[in-house]
Amino acid sequence: RHVADFQLSIASVIENSSSDCLAQDLHLQAQQLAERLECDSVVSEISAGPGTVNFTINRELLAKTVLQQVWKDGSEYGIKSELFSTVPRQKAVIEFSSPNIAKKFHIGHLRSTIVGNFIANLKVALGHEVVRINYLGDWGMQFGLLGVGFQSFGNKEKLKSSPLQHLFEVYVQINKAAEDENTKKLAKDFFRKLEEHDEQTLSIWKQFRDLSIEEYIRIYKRLGVHFDEYSGESFYQEKAQEVLKMLEDKGLLQKTVKGTGVVDLSEKKDLSTVSTVVRSDGTSLYITRQVLIISFRDLAAAIDRMNKHSWDTMIYVTDKSQSNHFQHLFQILKLMGYDWAERCQHVSFGKIQGMKTRRGEVVFLEDVLNEVRSRMLQNMASTKTTKEIQDPVETAEKVGLAALIVQDFQGLLSSDYQFSWDRALQSRGDTGVFLQYTHARLHSLEQMHGNADLADVNVACLLEPDAISVLLHLLRYDEVLYRSSQDLQPKHIVSYLLTLSHLAAVAHKTLPVKGSAPEVAQARLCLFRAARSVLANGMKLLGITPVTQM
């Protein structure tokens, strides 16, 4: 039974409402207030509940307003809401994905990629300017090893055809020999030459980097992700020296007994909290992502981005094990006199457990994409309706990605979760497959019955409870966008879209278009079109491409 569209709790508006305010008093006051309020063109009914005043909106006005708004604003529906009218347009730099060349593209990188992409999409939709940066692990001692390894095990053809896989294989092979003194020496020599900008060595390194980026771009494209800048640790060799000098000039760098450079971050300046920025053997200029070893390169990169982009906010998207790393990074920047460090933000996420492909552990991002596509193709082949799809492989990829993204975004980003292919790829229940299925179904409804014209719609035909449920839900879309824009959590949007899909599925059953009087059919078609439009908008924000056939 429908109680109300909006409720006002009496306890929240009474000045001295203490907890001993009796329930029957509140009920009485609710009744008194309800009797004094009058209905108008917006509110059609006012009643009192236990300690609440209940309001029901004029049904025809609701239908007319929502449908017109969705129709008029299109992909900007919800974004033009007054909720966002006071939010200033800003410039955001977002660093995400950031894999290490020649090493595994592990699941943490996958999470960073889809979360960073969501934050960037949301900010762009809300009218902010966004710079998407991929900060590659493209420097350091591992390139000494890789250079030596390539001389022994490398193959130029394989490097061109599948650089990520080939470099990884070479790296694994040379690592087996890494304990050998001669290999160690050769690797050190190779890296030293790199640091001294020896032309031949640099050109080998550059080839590793360029070919890897080319392949990354191709794979990111499958994910629907792009970057404005491929940066990396290699960019900051000289600038890292400048940072070192700044720290010394400001008297912030202290040497410990072991010869390590540290910055004192403790309040009492008693070295109780320090951050190591230099390693005593002088190899501090490449980053080691152990806890609390901050490299000059990270500091230099932050400063450089401010100079280059003069951003309002900079967001780093990495897993939560690096929280201390970023806290210290921001603190050191602040000690160096950069007040903008307060506008840096670390968006952290938990671990995914148990994601394996049929071939075993995930080594490359492409393994995950191929796996989800092949599993989805298999599922689609076993259902009756798949035969007519024009491009089943492309569709399987888009639906499979939706499944991955929705499973990942359902909880708080900071929580760890157990990954399950079976759960992610279910076609019923709260999954990305269900969102895609709903979108395709609503799309085919429009294809079958043509487009409804809003001007001809008689909203008096949309007064059934199932139609009203969809309309009321559409009305709330801006609140959900606002919540996600405040805490950068995609789960609000995910749960909104899943509910929308469930409500639309019920309405699709109980409010048939086919066989209804023309006027009724037009109105229902218009309702379903609005639901599909908002569903598509929300899916795109999450990084999902809606499919039209399934």
Question: Per the structure block, which two tokens stand in for 98?
Answer: 């950031």
The pLDDT of residue 290 is: 34
Pick the closest to residue 313 from 84, 89, 93, 88 (CA basis).
Answer: 93
Is 109 among the catalytic positions? Answer: yes
> What CATH homologous superfamily does 91-253+290-353 map to?
HUPs (3.40.50.620)
pTM of the entire predicted model = 0.92
Pick the closest to residue 216 from 131, 110, 145 (CA basis).
Answer: 110
Question: CATH number of 62-87+383-542: 1.10.730.10, 3.40.50.300, 3.40.47.10, 3.40.50.2000?
Answer: 1.10.730.10
Helices (H) and strands (E) in the chain, counts: 19, 15
The pLDDT of residue 451 is: 73
Q: What are the start and end residues of each CATH 1.10.730.10 domain in the chain?
A: 62-87+383-542
The pLDDT of residue 208 is: 95
The pLDDT of residue 269 is: 75
Question: Per the structure block, which two tokens stand in for 222?
Answer: 């499958």
The pLDDT of residue 106 is: 79
- Per-block mean pLDDT, blocks of 10 residues, the chain (550 long): 84 69 82 94 94 94 96 96 94 96 86 97 97 94 92 93 93 86 91 92 95 94 96 88 88 76 78 66 38 74 96 97 92 95 97 82 84 92 72 94 96 93 90 97 93 83 96 97 97 98 97 94 96 98 96
Is 221 among the catalytic positions? Answer: no
**Identity at 101, one-letter amino acid code:** I
Pick the closest to residue 111 from 417, 436, 399, 359 (CA basis).
Answer: 417
Is 328 among the catalytic positions? Answer: no
Q: Hey, what's the torsion of the CAs at 420, 421, 427, 430, to 10 degrees?
A: 30
Question: Which candidate in 109, 123, 443, 492 is catalytic?
Answer: 109
The pLDDT of residue 387 is: 57
Asked if residue 462 lies in contact with residue 536, where contact means CB atoms within 8 angstroms, the answer is: no
Indicate the angle between helix axes 477-487 and 107-125, nearest 10 degrees.
120
Question: Which candidate in 106, 123, 166, 492 is catalytic?
Answer: 106
Question: Which candidate in 27, 80, 91, 103 is catalytic?
Answer: 103
The pLDDT of residue 288 is: 35
- Rounded to whole angstroms, the Cα distance separating 501 from 428 reads 11
- Rounded to whole angstroms, the Cα distance separating 248 from 242 reads 10
The pLDDT of residue 279 is: 45
- Rounded to whole angstroms, the Cα distance separating 283 from 418 reads 38
Asked if residue 306 lies in contact with residue 340, where contact means CB atoms within 8 angstroms, the answer is: yes
The pLDDT of residue 14 is: 77
- Rounded to whole angstroms, the Cα distance separating 1 from 517 reads 27
Q: What are the start and end residues of each CATH 3.40.50.620 domain in the chain?
A: 91-253+290-353
Neighbours of 451 (CB within 10 A): 11
